[in-house]
Amino acid sequence: AAPAAAQGSAQPTAAEAKAWVDQAAAAYLDQVKRQARAEWVYSTYITEDTEALNAEQEAILTKMQVSNAANAARYARAQGLD
């Protein structure tokens, strides 16, 4: 879940923005690895099941990217970002 500042109308702080970036980057890296594994399995063993697994991981990654973009726009208002 996003910190309270990201959910409301309050301006987030630079510390909150950094914390969110660190968390989002770690979660994104984990999902990219999951999606890459699913893609490799699908490319190596082409079946309906591996196709479905690959599509599921791609959908999760796409949803994460959209969510991260929306949250990044909120955190971009924080004062003192470097």
Q: Please give the Cα distance from 62 to 46 (Å, whole number).
A: 22
Tokens of 33: 């690895």
Grouped pLDDT means (10 residues each) for the chain, 82 residues: 57 93 97 97 97 97 97 91 78
Q: According to the model, what pLDDT value does residue 10 have? A: 82
Q: According to the model, what pLDDT value does residue 77 have? A: 87
Q: According to the model, what pLDDT value does residue 74 have? A: 92
Question: Which pTM value belongs to this model?
Answer: 0.78
**Axis crossing angle, helix 48-75 with helix 14-44, rounded to the nearest 10:** 170
DSSP string, 43-75: HHS--HHHHHHHHHHHHHHHHHHHHHHHHHHHH
